[in-house]
Amino acid sequence: MNILVLGSGGREHAIAWALSKSARCDELFVAPGNGGTASFATNVSGINAESGEEVATFAREHAIELVVIGPEAPLVVGVADVLRDAGFAVFGPSAEGAQLEGSKDFSKRFMARNDIPTAAYATFEDADAACAYVTEQGAPIVVKADGLAAGKGVVVAEIVEDALEAVRTCFDGGFGSAGARVVIEECMTGPECSMLSFVSNGVSNPMAPAQDHKRAYDGDKGPNTGGMGVYSPVPIATEDELRQMEDIMQHAAEATKKEFALDYRGCLYGGFMLTPEGPKIVEFNARFGDPETQVVLPRLESDLVDVMMAVAQGKPEEVELAWSDKWAVSVVLASAGYPGSYEKGKVITGIDAAEELEGVTVFHAGTKLAEDGSLLTSGGRVLNVVALADTFEAARNQAYAAVDLIDFEGKQFRRDIAAKALKGRSAWA
């Protein structure tokens, strides 16, 4: 089977890596791919991943039987719809389903209609009205740009002044068109974690849970990022909380079948807050999480091609998931200055040595190959250093041992990934 993966980040590297291990995978293409995917797949440049027609043309020319859409942007503009209309099996929801991520207001209204537990909220298209609401509600409070903002359009404001500034930033164009509408939410309390699920035909097949670290610096300080590290499973989540999360994801899957003309076929990401009242949804994403995918898929023992094909064909009953008992910890290596401005083109060394360590895999996020064959940085988040081991502590230690072997100018990373989880639930008090 010939397979095409759309995307260039660490998530897509992890997806392509898992697909490549299947005996059913013949030729694997990644568009555009990165310096890591080039080692086992064919990187494809020159295709606009947000043009369904261009992707369909390539798919026809290369006898593609399965298209996997990694990032959210192609989903929101309807690439999956164009490809399905052209007769291709596609892993990824329709444009309508992708609005669960493309618009936070759409997602909140979906949750309200379907009694999915989440934070109370209000939506505004006028800055003065939004500021008045913030002043009335007080802080802490959460301000979110409604549209896609690369994971950076959310401000958890501890004081009213910071919330007002976040509102003005949105309406003044700080997040482009994504901030033309603003969603303001109550600030829920508790640890966050995520549960990804293979969703098709109203059925949720949940994956192993994971816990991300959004803030840029140690101690959960600094601005929000796309994610600086992650681990799976999540030891602080109780069995009862995990069951509740699975029930919520199943309820959401049933709602997608009821509400959308074409049932949702792809990954549904549930971002949860483990509140004192029980798990509540912080947000839905319409695709695999990044960097959650980088620790979830290495623990998957099932054939990912089989799983994705069953989802794409609307046959959730054929999805069989088996998980490794090993722990997975991933540390993100970023460029100096991330999530703000940063330089590109720095030479990366030491990856081969890192991957010689037992259980270590390095997924590339922002890398590219130079003409002379050297590996260069090309993004804010550069690498995901993942370690699998029999214990949480061993996985964490091995990940950081691998991090120390990798070098590039300006290498930036957090040294406390998973440290809180080792201390238990009290660390979030």
Indicate the SS3 state at residue 274: strand
DSSP 8-state class, residue 370: -
Half-sphere exposure of 290 (CA within 13 A, CB side): 26
Per-residue model confidence (pLDDT) at position 422: 84
What's the whole-number mean pLDDT along residues 99-107? 95
How many other C-beta atoms are found inside a 10 Å radius of the C-beta of residue 286? 26
CA dihedral 88, 89, 90, 96 (to 10 degrees): 80
What's the whole-number mean pLDDT along residues 210-239? 93
Please give the full DSSP string across 303-338, using - where no structure is assigned: -HHHHHHHHHTT-GGG----B-S-EEEEEEEE-TTT
| Residue bearing tokens 């980040």 | 9
What's the whole-number mean pLDDT along residues 26-39? 97
DSSP alpha helix (H) spans, 139-285: 160-171, 239-259
Assign 78 a pLDDT band (cuts: 50, 70, 90).
very high
Per-residue model confidence (pLDDT) at position 149: 80
Cis amide linkage into residue 279, ω under 30° from 0: no
Per-residue model confidence (pLDDT) at position 383: 98
How much is the CA Rg of the chain, to the nearest whole Å?
A: 21
CA distance linking residue 332 with residue 406, whole number of Å: 12
pLDDT of 26 strictly over 80: yes
Q: Which tokens is 299 given?
A: 């623990």
Nearest CA to 264 among 277, 279, 278, 249?
A: 249
What's the whole-number mean pLDDT along residues 189-216? 96
CB neighbours of 170 closer than 8 A, spacing ≥ 6?
A: 143, 145, 153, 179, 180, 182
pLDDT of 276 strictly over 90: yes
| CB neighbour class for 136 (10 Å; exposed up to 12, middle 13-18, buried from 19) | exposed
Q: Cβ(405)–Cβ(421) under 8 Å? A: no
Per-residue model confidence (pLDDT) at position 406: 98
Half-sphere exposure of 102 (CA within 13 A, CB side): 15
Q: Cβ(216)–Cβ(268) under 8 Å? A: no
Between the alpha carbon of residue 81 and those of residues 5, 39, 89, 131, 198, the distances in Å are: 16, 31, 11, 38, 18
CA dihedral 7, 349, 218, 134 (to 10 degrees): -30
| Residue bearing tokens 């290495």 | 298
Half-sphere exposure of 358 (CA within 13 A, CB side): 6
φ, ψ of residue 125 in degrees (nearest 5):
-120, 10
Q: Cβ(265)–Cβ(287) under 8 Å? A: no
What's the whole-number mean pLDDT along residues 61-76? 97
Q: Cβ(217)–Cβ(236) under 8 Å? A: no
What's the whole-number mean pLDDT along residues 9-30? 98
CA distance linking residue 219 with residue 36, whole number of Å: 30
Considering only 93-102, 146-155, 161-170, which range has the smallest mean pLDDT?
Answer: 146-155
Phi-psi region of 219 (alpha: psi -120 to 50; beta: other; left: phi over 0): left
The strand pairing partners of 389, in sequence order, are 327
pLDDT of 423 strictly over 90: no
Indicate the SS3 state at residue 257: helix
Indicate the SS3 state at residue 400: helix
Per-residue model confidence (pLDDT) at position 421: 87
φ, ψ of residue 271 in degrees (nearest 5):
-90, 120
CA distance linking residue 187 with residue 184, whole number of Å: 9
Q: Which tokens is 265 given?
A: 């076929």
Per-residue model confidence (pLDDT) at position 151: 67
Nearest CA to 389 among 346, 360, 417?
A: 360
CA distance linking residue 418 with residue 211, whole number of Å: 9
Query: What does the angle CA 189 – CA 194 – CA 195 come to, to the nearest 5 degrees?
Result: 135
Per-residue model confidence (pLDDT) at position 263: 82
pLDDT of 269 strictly over 70: yes
